[in-house]
A and B are shown apart, each in its own frame.
Chain A
Amino acid sequence: MFTATAESFLKQAREIQEEELRRFASRVAAVLQGPELGPEAADCLQRLHLTVAATKYPRKLDGKFVELLQTLLCSPKCPEQIQLLCAAILREMSPCNDLILSCDEIQDAKLLSLVSSVLLAQGNKKGEVSAVGQRIVKVLERRVPESQSARYLLPILSNVISLSPESLTEEQTNVVSKKMADWLRYASTQQGVAQPSGGFFSSPRTRQPGPVTEIDGAIATDFFTVLSVGQYYTEDQWLNMQAFSMLRNWLLCYGAKGLKTPSSDNKSGMDRSVMAVVSTTSTPGRLLPPKDRLREKAFEYCQRLIEQSNRRPLKKDDGELQKACLIEAVTIMDVICKQDSSYVYRAVSFLKILHGRISGDATYARALLPIAQFFLNHGKMAAVDSDAIYKHLLSDIPAQLFHNPSLAFEFVQFCKDNTQLFTETSSIFRQSFPNLFKFLAWNSPPLISEFVDLLPFLLDAGTAVEIFHLLLDLPCLTAALDIQLRSAALPTSERAACDPAVKPTTCLEAFRHPQYKSMFQYLLRTKSTPEDAPERLIPLRQLLGSLASSPRVMQCAETVPVLLELFFRVVAEFADGTLINQLVVLLLQRSDQLYEVPAFKDDVYRVLSSQLVMLCRLRPVLVVELSTEILEFSGAVSNIQNKEAIFTHMVWAIGEYMSVSYDKRCTVEQINRFFETLEAMLFEITQLRPLASTPSYAPRAISVLMATLTKLAARSQDLIPRVSMFLSKMRTFVQSPAVTSVYSEEDLEEILIRATELMNLLKMPSVAQFVFTPPVDVASTRFQREVNDSLPFALRIVTRLLEPAPGFVTG
């Protein structure tokens, strides 16, 4: 491919040294000052452009040379290609300190466009944007609309007002508004003529051009718009198209009732009040102030576009433009109604009819969003019941069109623009969140950052549990959506109902099978529906296992850890005791019920385990309150193997919070019960089986079990002898050949050191008690807070106290 050539050119361009560049620039200058500006000049400038553009640091070009470029750019005899290249080089070097370019004297519109592109790239340090704006308006004022070149100017103006709306005075905006209203409303409805080809023998045959047509071929029924068709276009028709293209931007900048532009006219105060009083519906066009008149014409234009969008285009690609026009027209109507609420009544009935027309057509789905936004903004004022519109939008559209990435993107943006609607618990918006997640499940990479913004608004005490399950099952949802799509694509002949007695062999069969149907339906639901028995989806997850390594599912799986962490962070802010407890129980339960996507489980366990600790820290008493569930979890040996992260963190939390200082209800019996369970676990994983091979467990699981047992013993001191004895046996464990072959040397050494330190600590029970069970109000020192650091630190101090190094004095 071309990449190799391009790479080598770029490399050469980057490596050109300053001296070589200087020499080249003088050579170019010589060529440019020559009599003829031919291909050699173009070639030189092209290479120069590449050299300047190829580096991130700016290239130094001689001031005189830069001036030459500017002179050449403005020179009337300069060929167009050379002008373009000069402008390109100047833009590439921008911002420049030493530009002498000015647009003040330029008459030719094309040249003005080129020069403006350079000036607008300077960053407005010297008011270049305003200067350009002033010049454009001046040229527009003087020109009659039929002139050849006015259409090069409108885009510049649009750029100017985007960069700096203050560039134009009120008088100037009025001038332009007046012209825009004329261009929008009164462009010719006759087609243009082909430019005469010229030549000696051609006779200028003036064939009468016909009228413009609609997009479906019919003769135009009303004024010219961007959806009007002709073979050739007249100048005012070009201006019509361009005026519409920049209309929304213009109205947003200057259409509001409160004037933001500096007024040049003393009468402006009076004008303002006059404009506020004038009614816009009944006054004939000419008498309205320019801003109001433009609004009126713009509104009519949008209405016409909406009517025109009903026609079936002859050219297929025009259909796409029709839809874009529809979206733009509705959006502009929304802007107009925000600026002048007297338009609301006219707009509302119109848009309701439009909605009725397109709501059943999937190809128009994207247009439903600005319509819904309109009703959200103005529906209340018009006392219109728009619930049906929102319901259709939120229930049907995501379910049918989740796989359309552009719609997905725009839909989520719509949600982000209206987050206040999601905070109402009973609102249609809030209830539709399962539908919204379908967009994320199918189109994960572009939408994950949008959902990170959106998720906090969906979460509250009522939805937290359901969203927790939903997040864990998100990749499962992706798989289910895949099946749904494939099932819908099957010809109806193959979609026969299947025999309920026969077990389905493929996912597609299962989709219609009565045993799985309700599970699919739950996963693919469109409304929030809390599920009391989440384990009923287990067979579905197993069934969908065949899709677990599909790329789309795996991409979705990667988004889950991020969302889970965010979930817990948000929930921690509002959750009460009941919810926290509920989440901990569910966390432990769901750890068994995860979709088997490669690497997914490990990532989820990692997040869940750290969040488990966070929840325990937030509400330490849960260890006592949920002792049954926690005992059950920490007493299953399989959990050490399969869910090591969660197990380890759970055991740590037991050691930390199962104490009277955190919960007065913590009894000695409870401590003993936990002790026995954990002791049995440690025994199980450290016992030496001479005949069978020794399975290996995570060393930190062993470590944390030892530490927790020690902590519990420090609180119920009858247990101390048992622990001490156990710990003393760790030396045998660590040194046995069966074990040394399975664990690494460093790990075993660490285990032994830890066991020794713990044993030493238990020799001073009161110290142990202090270290492991500080009074709660002292617990906020850094010493206690840093779980993973402080314990070894404490142990090492104690060990040093008990086994003094030479020169170290015991207390």
Chain B
Amino acid sequence: MVRAFVLLALGGPGPPRPAPCRVLYARAFGNPPETDNPPGTGDPPRQRLRRKEQLLAVARQVATQCQLLQSSSGRPSSPQLPQLPDEPMPLQDAPGGLFQLPPGDPFPERVTVAWLSVVALAFALVCDPQENVSLAEITLRRLVPRLLASLRLLGPGADVLLRPEAADVLLDRLLPHGQMLFLNEHFLQAVDREMGIKASR
């Protein structure tokens, strides 16, 4: 199962001033029953706080990994991509990767994180350790261009903050309740059709 999807702004040291890494949109799929926690930590505000902190911890790790990957490949901070807001974009060279977070930090169990980055944003799937990681990467590569288009993420607005239902619709189709789907290209077109997205090819 995918436990969560996180959309974050990478932040970084760049001009005009250093910016922190921020979670712009996050969706947790189900709330695991907290059976092992010490009593008293289970009350709702703390559970909610824990969830938010866990997702922020994931976001920070993704930002770090992204930064390190960028510097190791000698790539300067990505140039502006051409703005084609209505078409799903191919993401051949987008930096991305996989890493694990150990049990206890921040989730009680081990998790695997698959991430993909576009310009100053990153998208991450937090998966249970035995998940099909290849499918997670495919799912990300499908979610990202559709999110970029639907939320106009490359533009100057803040749709991602103000239109959570647009992101929810996409997730409900491509990652319903955290279930990754084995969709071949034709199935994917059928999904796009149902969402009203024009076919790109």
Q: Does B48 contact A (CB under 8 A)?
A: yes
Does A406 count as interface, using CB distance less than 8 angstroms? yes
Q: Could you say which of A6, A93, A156, A158 contacts B161, with CB atoms under 8 Å apart?
A: A6
Question: Given A321-B138, A446-B98, A163–B30 Cβ distance below 8 Å?
Answer: yes
Q: Hey, which chain B residues are within 8 Å of A409, CB to CB?
A: 97-99, 133
A478 and chain B: residue at smallest CB distance = B72
B30/A159 in contact, CB under 8 A: yes
Could you list some 8 contacts between A and B, CB below 8 A?
Answer: A2-B153, A6-B161, A58-B45, A159-B29, A241-B187, A245-B179, A324-B132, A551-B73
Residues in chain B within 8 A of chain A (CB atoms): 1, 9, 19, 22, 24, 27-34, 42, 44-45, 47-49, 52-53, 64-65, 68-69, 71-74, 97-100, 102, 119-120, 128-129, 132-135, 137-138, 153-158, 160-165, 168-169, 172, 176-187, 190
Contacts of A227 in B (CB 8 A): 184
- B182 and A129: CB pair below 8 A? no
Closest CB-CB distance, B170 to chain A, in whole Å? 11
Contact B164 A56 (CB under 8 A): no
Residues of B within 8 A of A163 (CB): 30-33
Interface contact A121-B31, CB-CB below 8 Å: yes
Known A7-B19, A120-B30, A230-B186; further 10 A-B contacts with Cβ < 8 A? A10-B161, A56-B53, A58-B45, A241-B187, A324-B182, A409-B98, A413-B129, A446-B98, A446-B99, A552-B72
Please report the C-alpha to C-alpha distance between residue A449 and residue B157 in the assembled complex, in whole angstroms.
38
List of A residues within 8 angstroms of B185 by Cβ: 315, 317-318, 321
What residues on A are CB-neighbors of B190 within 8 Å?
A: 232-233
Among B33, B102, B134, B180, point to the contact of A449 (Cβ < 8 A): B102
Is the beta-carbon distance between B177 and A46 smaller than 8 angstroms? no
**Complex interface: stretch among A94-102, A609-617, A788-796:** A94-102
- B19, B27, B135, B154: the one contacting A324 at CB < 8 Å is B135
Contact B182 A328 (CB under 8 A): yes
Query: Which A residues are CB-close (under 8 A) to B30?
Result: 120-121, 129, 159, 162-163
- Residue tally, chain A, CB below 8 Å to B: 89
Cβ B157 vs Cβ A5 within 8 A: yes
A residues near B (Cβ < 8 Å) are: 1-3, 5-7, 9-10, 13, 46-47, 49-50, 53, 56-58, 81, 84-85, 87-88, 91, 93-97, 113, 116-117, 120-125, 129, 152, 154-156, 158-159, 162-164, 215, 226-233, 241-242, 244-246, 248-249, 315, 317-318, 320-321, 323-325, 327-328, 331, 366, 405-406, 409-410, 413, 444-446, 449-450, 550-552, 555
Q: A231: nearest residue on chain B (CB-CB)?
A: B186
Task: Say which residue of B102, B138, B184 sits within 8 Å of A229 (CB atoms).
Answer: B184
Contact residues in A for B28 (Cβ distance below 8 Å): 121
- Bound form: Cα–Cα A620–B33 in Å: 53
**A122, B69: Cα distance in complex, Å:** 37
Please pick, from B97, B138, B154, the residue contacting A446 in the complex, using a CB distance under 8 A: B97
Main secondary structure of the interface of A (DSSP, over half): helix
Q: How far is the CA of A366 from the CA of B134 in the complex (A)?
A: 9
Judge whether B68 and A325 touch: CB under 8 Å: no
- B161/A325 in contact, CB under 8 A: no
Among A249, A405, A551, the residue within 8 A (CB) of B1 is A249
Pair A449/B68 contact, Cβ less than 8 Å: no
How many residue pairs link A and B with beta carbons under 8 A? The number is: 217
Are the CB atoms of B65 and A445 closer together than 8 Å? yes
Residues of A within 8 A of B68 (CB): 445, 555
Query: Do B33 and A94 touch (CB < 8 A)?
Result: no
Q: How far is A88 from B178 in the complex, measured between Cα atoms in Å?
A: 15
CA distance in complex: A231, B169 (Å)? 23
Return the contact of A1 from the options B22, B120, B165 (Cβ within 8 A): B120
The answer to whether B74 and A551 touch across the interface, beta carbons within 8 angstroms, is yes
C-alpha gap A53/B31 in the complex (Å) = 17
Assess the B134–A226 pair: CB atoms within 8 A. Answer: no
**How near does chain A come to B102, taking the closest CB pair, in angstroms?**
7
Shortest beta-carbon distance from B116 to chain A in Å: 12
B164 touches A406 (CB 8 A): no
A229 to B73, CA, bound (A): 38
Residues of B within 8 A of A410 (CB): 98, 133
| Contact pick for B183, options A1, A241, A413, CB 8 Å | A241
Q: Which 7 interchain pairs have the tightest Cβ spacing?
A: A155-B176, A84-B165, A155-B179, A162-B1, A445-B68, A446-B99, A124-B33
- Name which of B65, B155, B157, B164 has the most chain A CB atoms within 10 A of its CB: B164
Residues of B within 8 A of A318 (CB): 184-185
Closest Cβ neighbor of A116 among chain B residues? B177
Instruction: Point out the residues of chain B lying under 8 angstroms from A551, CB to CB.
Output: 71-74
Least distance between B85 CB and chain A CB atoms (Å): 13
Cα distance A404–B97 when bound, in Å?
Answer: 10
* Contact of B33 with A241 in the complex, beta carbons under 8 Å: no
Q: Which residues of A contact B32 (CB under 8 A)?
A: 123, 163
Cβ contact within 8 Å between B9 and A6 = yes
Point out the residues of chain A lying under 8 angstroms from B155, CB to CB.
2
- A315 CA / B120 CA spacing, docked (Å): 30
A49: nearest residue on chain B (CB-CB)?
B164
- Chain B residues with CB under 8 Å of A315's CB are 185
On whether the beta carbons of A159 and B182 are closer than 8 Å, the reply is no
CB-CB under 8 A from B160, the residues of chain A are 2, 6
Given the complex, which residues of A lie within 8 Å of B27, measured CB to CB? 91
A446 to B97, CA, bound (A): 8
B183 contacts across to A, CB distance below 8 A: 226, 241, 321
Alpha-carbon gap, A653 to B9, bound state (A):
52
Establish whether residues B134 and A331, one from each chain, have CB atoms under 8 Å apart when the complex forms.
no
Compute how far the CA of A162 lies from the CA of B64 in the bound complex, rounded to whole angstroms.
Answer: 30
Q: Is the beta-carbon distance between A113 and B134 smaller than 8 angstroms? A: no
Which residues of A sit under 8 angstroms from B135, Cβ to Cβ?
324, 328
Determine which of B52, B72, B102 lies in contact with A445 in the assembled complex, contact meaning CB atoms within 8 Å.
B72
